[in-house]
Amino acid sequence: MAWMIVPLQRYFDFKGRSRRQEFWMFFLFQVILMFCASFIDVALGYGQVDSYAQATEGYSVGFSMNSSGPVMLILFLALIIPALAVAVRRLHDTDRSGWWLLLAFIPLFGWIAIFIFYCLEGTVGPNRFGEDPKGRMPGVRG
């Protein structure tokens, strides 16, 4: 649980490196919060919940939630800076500049490339962005 809030403690910190665990746990934290915010917005009368009924059987096969209410907006604005900061630090851990985030503006190819970068193991030992967050040294087996 602590890994989920580390990026909030490093709110405006775009320097240094972040481990995969820190990045992905914060991503999960955001998804959970956004899901809860959607429910709150729908309960407040913003957005809607649609149920899809199968035409022949008449039972529900799923639902979708469309929410763009004030709770979701406030949460988005509160989380955008730490989300960008942890994304930049994650790229730094793979010895890439934060400018690589601009790939996200290239549909599909850019998204896949960024996803791969986020999944890669960080550079062993120090790199140009700082010390290894795992404390590993090059050439030393643990």
pLDDT digits (tens, 9 = 90+) for 13-38: 999 999 999 999 999 999 999 999 98
Whether residue 21 is contained in a domain is answered as yes
The answer to the question of residue 29 being in a domain is yes
pLDDT in tens, 45-99: 887 666 554 444 555 555 556 667 899 999 999 999 999 999 999 999 999 999 9
Give CA 25 to chain center in angstroms.
8
Task: Estimate the crossing angle of helix 70-93 against helix 2-9, to 10 degrees.
Answer: 90
**2 is a domain residue:** no
Instruction: Count how many domains the chain has.
Output: 1
Cβ atoms within 10 Å, residue 140: 8
Residue with tokens 């709770």: 71
**Measured in Å, how far apart are the chain's first and last C-alpha atoms?**
26
133 in a domain, yes or no?
Answer: no
Cα 24 to Cα 28: distance, rounded to the nearest angstrom? 6
- Does 1 map to a domain? no
Q: Is residue 20 part of a domain?
A: yes
Instruction: State which residues form the domain around 112.
Output: 12-119
